[in-house]
Every structure is written in structure tokens, then in C-alpha cells.
Amino acid sequence: MIGEEILTISNLQKSYGTNDVLQGIDLHVTRGEIIGYIGPNGAGKSTTVKIILGIEEGYTGEVKLFGRDIADGNIEYKRKIGYVPEIAEVYDNLTAHEYLTFIGELYGMDFDLVDYKAKRLMELFGVGEVYYSRISSYSKGMRQKLLIISSLLHNPEILFLDEPINGLDANSVMIFKEILANLAEQGKTIFYSSHIMDVVEKISSRIILLNGGKIVADGTFADLQNQNKEGTLEEIFNQLTGFNEHKEIGERFVTIVQEV
Ligand SMILES: Nc1ncnc2c1ncn2[C@@H]1O[C@H](COP(=O)(O)OP(=O)(O)OP(=O)(O)O)[C@@H](O)[C@H]1O
């Protein structure tokens, strides 16, 4: 059902010691949205996602997924989530066939169905020929494609993607953008964290910028352009995070490199 609220975050706060990473996040996400979740290094993007996934505890505030508080002890909601972490631990000694069927079976899928889906998806992503090869022999991009496929095998309702196109070549990025647009059309919700601003600008139906523990911008790219100096998302990001020292820092960096 389009228009249905999938994710609701109310006054989410999280600290690590004296580091108050999230200082009251409020967010309402509707089915079918592609949220570009951006912010400077260390802003708390991964922390937010880990809390929603139930991997990170010790927060205050409330997180509701599919209408239920994730802290209510019922972990059934995790079956409806797909996740591509920024850094993933994959069992390198397995083949994609072994790994993906293992993941599928963890989700309670039938072996033959998951094997069929995994093989077809690998083929469509241009890596069908390494389906029976060990993951340890994969290139970076091949590994990334495997992670993307593994997050989608069980047909999740919501996808959390942390730098998902790391290592993908230009053609594969184009395929991936189409996959995301199609998933959103089918009513899937996508939460996309990345530093690659031109891709975020193009694929997101809504962009959320986290800075200093708070959401400092929330809207379509056009909204953000209207509220700020017109320009690319990269320029808006620079403006909203108050950053304009790149030239000076770059010069000083190279000066120090040249000291011998
Ligand atoms: N397990 C942890 N223990 C202590 N501090 C942590 C832990 N995890 C994250 N932090 C801190 O929380 C802050 C937010 O980290 P987080 O990984 O959420 O940022 P991010 O926005 O995803 O950054 P990046 O863009 O660099 O991936 C950082 O200051 C980080 O050092």
C-alpha cells in the first residue's frame, strides 16, 4: 500500500561515552520512498541504521518499523529487511552458490528456489560465470554484487544500503540504479547512505542530511535547492555543513607531504 508509514523514528538519541552521536532524530518514512541518508564522516549514519536493524542497543527514543516498536522483543520484522553493510564479513572460502543458498536458507527459503534466484541474479549482474567459484577469488566489484544479491534474495520490504556501489563499474551502477527505481515502484522502501553525491542526487526521492547529531535538511533535491543556494547536492552539502576550506587544507596537506 503506497502512503503507508514504514519507519517512524521519534527523538532518537545515542551516545558513545561523552560522544553524543544522535541528539534527537525524528523521521517518518513512507512505503516506496528512496531516502538518501547523507552526512559527514562520523555523523551517525551507520549508527542510525544499526539501531533500526537491532544490532546496536542503548539508545533512547523510539523506532517503529512496520508499525511496531523494534524494542518489543519480537524480531520477526528482521525477515522483511535487506541490508548491505559498508564493510561486510563474507565467508571467503565458500562459493557464491554455497554462500547465497546458505543465506537464503537462514531466511527459511526453499533451497532450489534460492539456488535458482541466486544464479539468475548473478547472471543478470554479469557475474554468473563465478557462481561456483570461491568468493576469495572475486574482485572488489564482484564481491559487492554478491552482497547486493544476498540482501535481496528474500524479497525484503525495506532495504538499508551503506555505500552499495563501492567498486561497481559504470555499467553496473546504471543497472543498480534501475534496480532501485524498480524496487521502489514495487513499493519497496530504500534507505541509501553514501558519500557519492551525484548518485544520491539522482536516485533519491528524498534526501536527509545529518550533521552535528541532528537532521539539518529533509526534502526532495528540488526542496533543498529552493531552501539553499542553488547548485549540485555536493555544493548544498558543503553549504549546510559549513565547509569551504578544501583548497587551503589540500595545499597544507601537500606542503607537509613534501617536507623531508
Ligand atoms: N562501537 C562504537 N564505539 C564507540 N564509538 C562509536 C562506535 N560506533 C560508532 N562510534 C562513533 O559514533 C560516531 C558516528 O559513527 P557512524 O559510523 O555512525 O558515522 P557515519 O555517519 O556512518 O560515518 P561514515 O560516513 O564515516 O561512515 C563516530 O564518532 C564514531 O566514532
Ligand 1, atom 2: closest residue by C-alpha: 16
User: 231: domain range?
Assistant: 4-258
Spatial separation of the C-alpha atoms in residues 247 and 144, rounded to whole Å: 33
Give the CATH number of the domain where residue 98 resides.
Answer: 3.40.50.300
Best substitution site from 15, 19, 55, 86 to test ligand 1's pocket, by max atoms within 8 Å of Cβ?
19
Q: What is the ipTM of this complex?
A: 0.97
pLDDT at position 90: 86
pLDDT at position 48: 95
pTM: 0.92
Ligand 1, atom 30: closest residue by C-alpha: 42
CA of 44 to the centre of ligand 1 (A): 6
CA of 176 to the centre of ligand 1 (A): 27
Closest CA to 67 of 154, 155, 187, 157: 157
Taking the chain (260 residues) in runs of 10, the rounded mean pLDDT of each run is 86 96 96 95 94 93 95 87 88 95 93 96 97 96 96 96 93 95 95 93 95 94 86 90 86 93
Number of other residues whose CB lies within 10 A of the CB of residue 53: 17
Look at the chain and report how many structural domains it folds into.
Answer: 1
Q: Which residues of 82-91 are buried (b: 16+ CB within 10 A; e: fewer)?
A: bbbbeeeebe
pLDDT at position 75: 82
Yes or no: say if 57 and 12 are a contact pair by the CB < 8 Å rule.
no
For residue range 193-244, list pLDDT tens digits in order. Answer: 999 999 999 999 999 999 999 999 999 999 999 888 778 999 999 888 887 8
pLDDT at position 30: 96
CA of 46 to the centre of ligand 1 (A): 7
pLDDT at position 2: 56
Number of other residues whose CB lies within 10 A of the CB of residue 26: 13
**Any residues with Cβ below 6 Å from ligand 1, and which?**
16, 19, 21, 39, 41-47
Ligand 1, atom 1: closest residue by C-alpha: 16
